[in-house]
Amino acid sequence: MFEFFGYIGAFCIGLVLGITGGGGSILTVPILVYLLSLNPVIATAYSLFIVGTTSAFGTFQNFKKGLVAPKTALQFAVPSVIGVYLTRKFIVPAIPDPVFYFASFQFTKSTLVMLLFAVVMFWAAVAMLKKDTDTTVTKTKHPFFTLLKLFLVGVLIGLIGAGGGFLIIPALMRLAQLTIKKAIGTSLLIITLNSLIGFLGDVQTMTIDWPFLLSFTGLSVIGIFIGLYVQKYINEKLLKKIFALFILVMAFFIFYKEVFS
């Protein structure tokens, strides 16, 4: 039964990615861990492939509509891609398991990953619940700080296996002054590069169940095509609020399950 809902969730991941350009990816790890019983560290690796492949199809569709800025995407992607790859290749394998002992209590690597994920889910939900995305052009900062911020976004994506669209879209609007629709399309290209290149670091360090991964990804790809089609017929702002509330509930659920159960 849980497995059935897990595959339904795969479709929903693509659907939300297609409609909002981000957010759906944050569901991938909880679905893989709690519905399909995967180890959280493996789930973050699989999530990168699922999200990256699904976003690639979405990027292609948006590119045909003129809603992707390739030059801007590459400028934003390079530092974050480096952060994702280095995190998956070196940092994640280097995290000890258990992380530490406290009397008879063991704080495991899996618990660390899921608690970090819960924090990011809470952060994403709060960002999506804001009434309107702030499109005010901020004062240009030194390029070093912008590159550092994008690199750290890549490290975060590498640790939790999510695409990071909720971080990338506002940055594209503020720093590159893109419209919301073009920011969504461009973010999918950045997510594609971040996720798939980050996944290459995992291919070198773990065994991949390709039949499962490809079937799950296939359902997500179907979802993104449908999401892109229905995008113009639905109230995107209302959907984002409903989805944000759902993510908020999920964040508290993960925290409770990892700490108290």
Q: What is the pTM of this model?
A: 0.82
Distance CA 133, CA 145 (A): 22
Q: What percentage of residues in the chain have a pLDDT greater than 90?
A: 36
Q: Tell whether the model's pLDDT for residue 135 goes beyond 70.
A: no
Q: Tell whether the model's pLDDT for residue 232 goes beyond 80.
A: no
Q: Which two tokens stand for residue 144?
A: 């070093």
**Helix then strand then coil, % of the chain, to nearest 5:** 80, 0, 20
Q: What's the confidence (pLDDT) of residue 136? A: 47
Name the band, by pLDDT with cuts 50, 70 and 90, for residue 46.
Answer: very high
Identify the CA nearest to 157 among candidates 146, 147, 165.
165
250 versus 242: the higher-pLDDT residue is 250
Name the band, by pLDDT with cuts 50, 70 and 90, for residue 141.
Answer: low
All structural domains of the chain with their residue ranges: 2-260
Sign of CA dihedral 240, 242, 246, 251: positive
Query: Span 46-70, mean pLDDT?
Result: 91
31 versus 260: the higher-pLDDT residue is 31
Q: What does the pLDDT look like over 168-187, one tens digit per residue?
A: 877 788 778 888 788 888 98
Q: What's the confidence (pLDDT) of residue 192? A: 92
Q: Which residues make beta-bridge pairs with 105?
A: 102
Q: Tell whether the model's pLDDT for residue 214 goes beyond 90.
A: yes
φ/ψ bin of 16: left (φ > 0), alpha (ψ from -120 to 50), beta (otherwise) = alpha
Distance CA 35, CA 50 (A): 16
Radius of gyration (C-alpha) of the chain in whole angstroms: 17
Average pLDDT, the chain: 85
Report CA-CA distances (Å) from 35 to 40, 74, 111, 124, 153: 12, 35, 17, 22, 27
**Which amino acid makes up residue 130?**
K
